[in-house]
Amino acid sequence: MAWFNKKSKRIEAVPPEERVVKTENVFLKCEGCEAHLFKGELEDGLQVCKHCGYHFRIGARDRLALLFDEGKFEELDAEVISIDPLKFVDSKPYSDRLKQAKDSSGLPEAIINARGTVGDHPVVAGAMDMNFIGGSMGSAVGEKVTRLIERAMGEHSALIIFSASGGARMQEGTLSLMQMAKISAALAALDEARLPFISVLTDPTTGGVTASFAMLGDIIIAEPKALIGFAGPRVIEQTIRQKLPKDFQRSEFLLDHGMIDAIVDRREMRAYVIKVLNFMMNPEIHGESDIERARRAASRINP
């Protein structure tokens, strides 16, 4: 009996919070197959479900680290940030939304620009992030994308953009919509310079981003099951009053209908992009005359 009492006292001495097995933030539920995934294992798999291949969303800096050689890159244009030109107010001032987005995401803007090498090829790249006001495109995003294009021409580099966006940013009105034409004009100069633009569409890529630079790549790649379109499927159904086909606006549907060139698993994306660059940056295709062409195209934008 004495032994039992001593053991009981030892058990009672353990704080209640230490008697529970802590599993918070250890497992995640897959949105594709509903399997419970160990968080550490998911991170090792680049945030892709090992059971069904569902691609979880990842941040802009993670995208860039997965792309560049040894995960190293130089961040560019961090000083280009949104302002509140219209003094826009809905349920709260736009200026407050910007501050909240910066604090919660740790990002200066909805896209991160970077420079580095991919398979030893010089590359400038941008990665959009849904955590910053839904990855929406305002004046600052448009300026940063345009600067990437100009830098690609000036440095004779390839351009890669990872899109993830809900579309144009309504709080900036027409100033936001103007970015579609601005970026498209810059891409026309890049095309004239015969420098490659690889567009990678991730979940989701919608609105004005889809209607402009996301669909203007020399090669357009998408991750599996990514939502890609202009208006959302619910808006379309309510407008045309018809039921849309299964998986409408998903990567696989767009590939079947010739809207994109390839669907590539995130775990194979870097190797695939390197193969594309090995072909598109071949000196036999892009000789010295093309460098001069790039300089002339750049001068039209920055005379």
- Kindly state whether residues 189 and 255 are assigned to the same domain: yes
**Domain count of the chain?**
2
Q: Omega of the bond prior to 204 within 30 degrees of 0, cis?
A: yes
Q: 3-state DSSP: the chain helix, strand, coil percent, rounded to 5?
A: 45, 20, 35
Residue 168: per-residue pLDDT:
96
- Kindly state whether residues 80 and 23 are assigned to the same domain: no
- Kindly state whether residues 237 and 94 are assigned to the same domain: yes
- Kindly state whether residues 239 and 284 are assigned to the same domain: yes
Q: Is the pLDDT of residue 107 over 50?
A: yes
Q: How far apart are the first and last CA of the chain?
A: 94
- Are 153 and 295 spatial neighbours (Cβ–Cβ below 8 Å)? yes
**For residue 272, what are the domain limits?**
58-301
Work out the average pLDDT over 86-114. 97
Where does a domain end: 30, 56, 82? 56
Work out the average pLDDT over 261-283. 95
φ, ψ at 128 (rounded to 5°): -85, 155
Work out the average pLDDT over 33-61. 95
Q: What is the pLDDT of residues 4-27, one digit of tens each?
A: 555 554 555 556 666 555 556 789
φ, ψ at 249 (rounded to 5°): 70, 10
Residue 20: per-residue pLDDT:
57
pTM of the model: 0.86
- Kindly state whether residues 278 and 232 are assigned to the same domain: yes
Q: How confident is the model at residue 296 (pLDDT cuts 50, 70, 90)?
A: low
Longest pairwise C-alpha distance within the chain: 95
- Kindly state whether residues 33 and 64 are assigned to the same domain: no
Residue with the two structure tokens 């695939």: 272
Residue with the two structure tokens 């979940």: 203
Identify the residue with better confidence: 288 or 36. Answer: 36
- Kindly state whether residues 73 and 47 are assigned to the same domain: no
- Kindly state whether residues 162 and 260 are assigned to the same domain: yes
Nearest Cα residue to 213 out of 109, 158, 115, 142: 142
Q: 3-state class of 134 per DSSP?
A: helix
- Kindly state whether residues 43 and 80 are assigned to the same domain: no
Q: Is the pLDDT of residue 66 over 50?
A: yes
- Kindly state whether residues 46 and 147 are assigned to the same domain: no
Q: Is the pLDDT of residue 239 over 60?
A: yes
Q: Is the pLDDT of residue 188 over 80?
A: yes
Where does a domain end: 24, 56, 88? 56
- Kindly state whether residues 244 and 113 are assigned to the same domain: yes
Question: Residue 278 belongs to a domain with what CATH number?
Answer: 3.90.226.10
The rounded mean pLDDT for the chain is 90
- Kindly state whether residues 32 and 168 are assigned to the same domain: no
Q: What is the pLDDT of residues 198-208, one digit of tens each?
A: 999 999 999 99
- 9 Cβ contact list (under 8 Å, min separation 6): none
Q: What is the pLDDT of residues 127-175, one digit of tens each?
A: 999 999 999 999 999 999 999 999 999 999 999 999 999 999 999 999 9
Where does a domain end: 31, 56, 81? 56
